[in-house]
Structure 1
Amino acid sequence: MDDQAHAARTMWNLLHEWWTMLPRERRSPAAADRAIRQARKDIDWLGVLPAQAAQAVLKAYLQAWNSCWAGRAGEPKFKARFRTVMSVDIPQGRDLHIIRVHRRWGLVNIPKIGRVRFHWTKDLPVGKRAGKENRITGARLVNDALGWHIAFRVQTLERGQEHHARPEVGIDVGINVPLALSDGTTYGHDKWLTEREMTELLRLEQRAAHRRRFQKHREKTSKRLRATYDRIQALRARAKRRHLDWQHQTTTDIAKKYGTVVVEALQITSMVRSARGTVDQPGKNVVQKTGLNRAINGEAWGRTVEMLDYKTARNGGTLAKVPASGTSQRCSACGFTTSGSRESQAVFVCKNPNCGWSGNADHNASRNVLHLYRMGLALIPAAGRAVARRARRVKPTTAR
């Protein structure tokens, strides 16, 4: 599997060099397909990669360019060996021949490798449960710091969910309180690594820094240093898995309980911008801002919103976004807004002499988020704005 993953990465790089070298008028999927077939004949070790997996590389590369031309992503780039996730795509499900041995293990056929045992973690449509409307269409092999994993692509036919009469809720995301809901509910978590694991991670990072001091410029990384890096990556991968598990459980619970979920339209990229500044105008509190940026990135707010988006739709609900400005400074009781109302990270005290309401700052912000939605200030998605602009450009016609 390692050989196939390296061959797939090399195939991508060769295809990228070939595509960017040719003039535009000579670029076409058919020409790229012929180039891939010729490369598998000329370079022996590229033949380790199955032909259909090589076609999947071509398909992914063309999709990357389509996303670039549509403005959804940047241009495809060269895949470096140590910065790229090793993966192999199996585009056809009929080649897998999945068999469930017992409740914990199953067997799958991987092209040019054979039968491989895998840990059965979720029900799959195999045997009598498989059909035209519920079947496995392919798989993807992915290698991370914890080993090789297989993810199956399943095609199912789901009935459209009707909108259920469930309550509305506003959500405020934070660091100390990851998710605060407008009805007073909070969702928190502990540290993703235990104290023992954190101590081990710190010790390994110090060991790697010490060994890196003796490495000369452009010298190949030693086996000991690479083994240390592997152990560090394994601990970080374990923390990421725990984070993903918490996000999935939390977002599933919210999507089942509430019909309309309202979140802030945060510009996370701007929020985590460095405060270092320039030589002429150096930044202030750079260390504190760096720690805040690291904490924001660690919470992965964008991934939480993406999960809420498709899970609310799956459960017959909707996800709405409202402007984020002023939600933490407005009093949810009287509507008075001032910058000095938030006395601390957790306490909000209204400065209006006729109000004086005080409470949890995160719950206050989440109630303001829900208030903006009820006032009709929900933001229109980018696709909806494009449709609205096209509709305004069309001149109305009158019947005679």
Structure 2
Amino acid sequence: MKWQARKDIDWLAVLPAQAAQAVLKTYLQAWKNCWDGRADKPNFKARVRTVMSVDIPQGRDLNITRVHRRWGMVNIPEIGRVRFRWTKDLPVGKRANKENRITGARLVKDALGWHIAFRVQTLQAKPEPHAGPEVGIDAGVNLPLALSDGNHQDHGRPTRTENGTADRDKWLTAEEKAKLLCLERRAAHRKSFRKPKERTSNRLRNTYDQIRTLRARATRRATDWQHQTTTALARIYGTLVVEQLHIPNMVKSAKGTIEEPGKHVAQKAGLNRAISQEARGRTVTMLTYKAARNGGTVHKVPAPNTSRRCSACGFITPGSREDQATFVCKSPDCGWSGNADYNAARNLLHLYRMGHALIPAAGRAVVRRTRGVKPATAR
């Protein structure tokens, strides 16, 4: 199929054989995901909406050598020898064998520069079942991860600004926020001079690059916190219970239509922004495969009424959520009050113990697996 496509498509024939093979494999996998119901059918993505990446499917061509403790050298086809930051041990030299070897790599460019990620194939034994305790985990807005045993995980970043709006730059320092505001104003000023369909000036493009650099830095900090937190939870607990959520439905706009306009549109927009910033889906994905590595499991339970039910008495009474962070039971025989996310986490664990768990989240420990290596910055 690859050679026939190179004959029929002119631009594909110009590419190196390995690059063309990677493009076709990605395209075929996109259609398989569509046919299996995991994604929509593939569509055209412009260069500005995609990450620039180059795949190197053959690991034997890399010829990786370690220069010293922090740096290594890799051979990139059509480019030559490139130095990269050594951030994780790699099976090179005498350590490489059929069960533990590098099968390929990928070059990725983002706002912070070029990075290289190696695909490593290792032989790993199936882990023993985790004997740790059970825990319910609720992902909230004011409290990122609330646990049913009270061991809450908070990143210490403010979720609201001084005027009460959602803080979209909470992962930046005060100096970085001031710099970002200055850059955004500068970009808006320079953009005002650009005529319709006129090419973006180099100065405006440079300002956009600086903004993307700050945004990428904030994203890295958020992802790093998620990795460290989910790794610690997967090592401590054997059974982790989360709620089954459909994030796209949660972050829908409240504008409504002209005939039936929505209510509290600005407040709902701020809530949607706060939910999107926490990246709940990515947190569950990390918990799933990390728990499988440690012999644990991640289970999902139905979400309805988990935030309205009192975890102390079990009654569902209207008006128990006084605000986004506080839960107060309105039952005359109870009156329990506490953090709303903590109350929901206890309800999640209760549903699991009552047998209301859905199918366990995907992700099982396998004997042979391909694990990615933390991206290393190439210089």
> Above 0.5 in TM-score?
yes
Gaps (5+ residues) in structure 1? 1-27, 384-400
Match of 1:99 in 2: 65
Q: 2:255, 2:262 within 8 Å by CA — same for their partners in 1?
A: yes
Deviations 1:32-76 (A, max 9, x none): 24335x5455xxxx4xx4321121111111111222222222222
Q: 2:62, 2:76 within 8 Å by CA — same for their partners in 1?
A: yes
- 1:317 equivalenced with 2:296 (yes/no): yes
Match of 1:397 in 2: none
Residue 342 of structure 1 deviates from its aligned partner by 2.4
- 1:124 equivalenced with 2:103 (yes/no): no
Q: Among 17, 23, 32, which residue is 2:5 paired with? A: 32
How far apart are the structure 2 equivalents of 1:370 and 1:381?
14
Q: 1:33, 1:55 within 8 Å by CA — same for their partners in 2?
A: no
Alignment of 1:1-400 (within 5 A): 31-36=4-9, 38-39=10-11, 46=14, 49-189=15-155, 190=157, 191-380=170-359
Letter aligned with residue 32 of structure 1: A
Residue 345 of structure 1 deviates from its aligned partner by 2.9
Q: 1:33, 1:58 within 8 Å by CA — same for their partners in 2?
A: no
How far apart are the structure 2 equivalents of 1:294 and 1:333?
31
What is the root-mean-square deviation of aligned Cα atoms in Å?
1.6
Match of 1:10 in 2: none
In structure 2, the residue corresponding to 1:356 is in which secondary structure? coil
Higher deviation after alignment, 120-129 or 280-289: 280-289
How far apart are the structure 1 equivalents of 2:85 and 2:232?
26
Gaps (5+ residues) in structure 2? 158-169, 363-379
TM score, norm. by length of structure 2: 0.89
Is the alpha carbon distance of 1:95 and 1:285 closer, same or farther for their aligned partners in structure 2, counting shifts above 3 Å?
same
Q: Which runs of 4+ in 1 moved over 4 A?
A: none
Question: Number of residues paired by the alignment?
Answer: 349
Q: 1:173, 1:180 within 8 Å by CA — same for their partners in 2?
A: yes
Letter aligned with residue 351 of structure 1: K
Residue 261 of structure 1 deviates from its aligned partner by 0.1
How far apart are the structure 2 equivalents of 1:158 and 1:33?
38
Letter aligned with residue 180 of structure 2: L
In structure 1, the residue corresponding to 2:49 is in which secondary structure? coil
Q: 2:298, 2:360 within 8 Å by CA — same for their partners in 1?
A: no
Letter aligned with residue 37 of structure 2: G
Letter aligned with residue 292 of structure 1: L
Give aligned-pair identity as a percent. 71
Q: 2:101, 2:121 within 8 Å by CA — same for their partners in 1?
A: yes
How far apart are the structure 2 equivalents of 1:75 and 1:121?
36
